[in-house]
Amino acid sequence: MTLDDRLRTVALLAATGLLVQLPIAHAQSAEAEVLFREGRKLIGQGRVAVGCDKLAASEKLEPSIGTLLNLGDCREKLGRLASAWAAFRKAEAMAKRAGGEDKRHLEARRRAAQLEPRLATLTIQVTGSVDGVVVSRAGLPLEPGAWNTAVPVDPGSYAILVEAPGHKPWRAEVSVLHKARRTVVVPTLERAAVVSAPPVPVVASVPVVISPPPARSTLTMRTTTESSFTAERKLGLALGLVGAGSIGAGVYFGRQSNDLQRDADLRCPLVVCADPEGLRLNNRAQTAATRANIFYVAGGVSVASAIVLFIVGRPEQRTVVRPTAGRDQVGVSVAGRF
């Protein structure tokens, strides 16, 4: 094969590879474009939440400055200010890298700057130094660099879980309202106690020959155990069930308060509000929050009382020895709580 033939072969292979790759790239771009147009159409029809999901899917497939600007705008309309701020900042950085996008670069910077004073933040303050500790927010692990930092978050409820090998997990749920600055302090985790299995009650019978015939006598010792479920522990169990129900009701009203407050903030984003529906939603949110606090306190008192009753209601250890006799045997009976 001559040199010219080799060059032609290499060129042909390169062209074939390019033709194979082009349809794939075009298909990805087309899918992102369809999702972008569908999202814009839905937002124009007033279906902002569904349209916002379409834009997010388009941006995930193929990030672009225009998609990010539209995504930030619809998230701002939904009250998800932290997510909107992040989209505008990402669009600003992308426009700066691209060059020749001065107009959209300035627009993204302006929209992000407008949102910053209105952002809510959540700080998870980790004070203890436990090896292998993992901090999760809303089910997602946080990088250690995000600890002890005021991170912008959307308004809503967040479950905080802190775990470490050989330690008891620590949980908390925090509600973040519009423009709120919330801080959650994580205590030092307690070591997990080693749980040992309780002893198994044993009933023993020991025959002993006392005298020879005509009548054979046997000494028998019987050991029995009495129930340890006292009246105090029964009352503690009932209080525990009442406390659990009260805490569950507190969780329900707490979530209801968060939802109502979020709806009120969407109608009245400013401190001064003249919208009657927004004021009504705010009043309902405050009422639900008050109910939640009452149920939390009642549930906590009931559970604490149940624990105390269960501890102090532990049966006393005692042993009763009684003689027993029959026609052809004699012995003793041992009964008590063990």
Q: Which uninterrupted H or E stretch holds 181?
A: strand 181-186
198 pLDDT above the threshold of 80: no
Highest mean pLDDT among 167-171, 230-234, 306-310: 167-171
Residue at 223 is within a domain: no
Question: 174 and 157 in contact (C-beta within 8 Å)?
Answer: yes
Coil, helix or strand at residue 144: helix
Cα distance between the two ends of the chain:
97
Q: What pLDDT does residue 17 have?
A: 45
Q: What is the dihedral of CA 135, 136, 137, 140, to 10 degrees?
A: 140
Per the listing, tokens 């147009």 go with: 37
64-to-30, 79, 106, 155 alpha-carbon distances in Å: 13, 23, 16, 27
Residue predicted with more confidence, 327 or 236:
236
Identify whether residues 29 and 96 lie together within a single domain. Answer: yes
DSSP β-ladder status, 330-336 and 219-225? parallel
26 pLDDT above the threshold of 70: no
23 pLDDT above the threshold of 50: no
Which of 116, 142, 176 is the endpoint of a domain? 116
Mean pLDDT in residue range 288-307 = 85
What is the percentage of the chain residues whose pLDDT exceeds 70?
72
Identify whether residues 148 and 111 lie together within a single domain. Answer: no
Q: What share of the chain is helix, strand, coil (3-state, %, to 5)?
A: 55, 20, 30
Identify whether residues 105 and 160 lie together within a single domain. Answer: no
235 pLDDT above the threshold of 60: yes
Q: What pLDDT does residue 326 have?
A: 58
Q: What pLDDT does residue 145 have?
A: 85
Mean pLDDT in residue range 173-197 = 85
Residue at 237 is within a domain: yes
Q: Give the model's confidence band at 204: pLDDT under 50 very low, under 70 low, under 90 confident, else very high.
A: low
Any idea what the CATH number is for the domain that residue 66 is in? 1.25.40.10
183 pLDDT above the threshold of 70: yes
pTM of the model: 0.48
How many Å apart are CA 190 and CA 163, to the nearest integer? 10
Lowest mean pLDDT among 144-148, 206-210, 274-278: 206-210
15 pLDDT above the threshold of 60: no
How many Å apart are CA 285 and CA 274, to the nearest integer? 17
294 pLDDT above the threshold of 90: yes
Q: What pLDDT does residue 4 have?
A: 55
Residue predicted with more confidence, 295 or 16:
295
Q: Which two tokens stand for residue 277?
A: 């529906």
Which of 128, 162, 186 is the endpoint of a domain? 186
Structural domain boundaries enclosing 171: 120-186
272 pLDDT above the threshold of 70: no
Identify whether residues 57 and 145 lie together within a single domain. Answer: no
28 pLDDT above the threshold of 80: no
Residue at 194 is within a domain: no
- DSSP string covering 56-89: HHHHHHS--HHHHHHHHHHHHHTT-HHHHHHHHH
The total of other beta-carbon atoms located within 10 Å of residue 24's CB is 9
Residue at 23 is within a domain: yes
Identify whether residues 271 and 246 lie together within a single domain. Answer: yes
Mean model confidence pLDDT for the chain:
79
Any idea what the CATH number is for the domain that residue 137 is in? 2.60.40.1120
Lowest mean pLDDT among 50-59, 97-106, 276-285: 276-285
| pLDDT per position as a tens digit, 49-76 | 999 999 999 999 999 999 999 999 999 9
Residues in the chain: 338
Identify whether residues 141 and 107 lie together within a single domain. Answer: no
Question: 170 and 159 in contact (C-beta within 8 Å)?
Answer: no
Residue at 125 is within a domain: yes
Which of 116, 134, 160 is the endpoint of a domain? 116
Q: In this structure, is the dihedral angle defined by the CA atoms of residues 30, 33, 39 and 44, taken in order, positive or negative?
A: negative
Residue at 143 is within a domain: yes
Lowest mean pLDDT among 27-36, 158-167, 200-209: 200-209
How many Å apart are CA 59 and CA 44, to the nearest integer? 19
- DSSP string covering 281-314: HHHHHHHHHHHHHHHHHHHHHHHHHHHHHHHHTP
Identify whether residues 36 and 55 lie together within a single domain. Answer: yes
Residue predicted with more confidence, 68 or 330:
68
Q: Which uninterrupted H or E stretch holds 125?
A: strand 120-126
Lowest mean pLDDT among 19-23, 119-123, 328-332: 19-23
How many Å apart are CA 181 and CA 118, to the nearest integer? 11
Structural domain tally of the chain?
Answer: 3
Question: 154 and 79 in contact (C-beta within 8 Å)?
Answer: yes
271 CB-near residues (< 8 Å, 6+ apart): none
Strand partners, 262: none
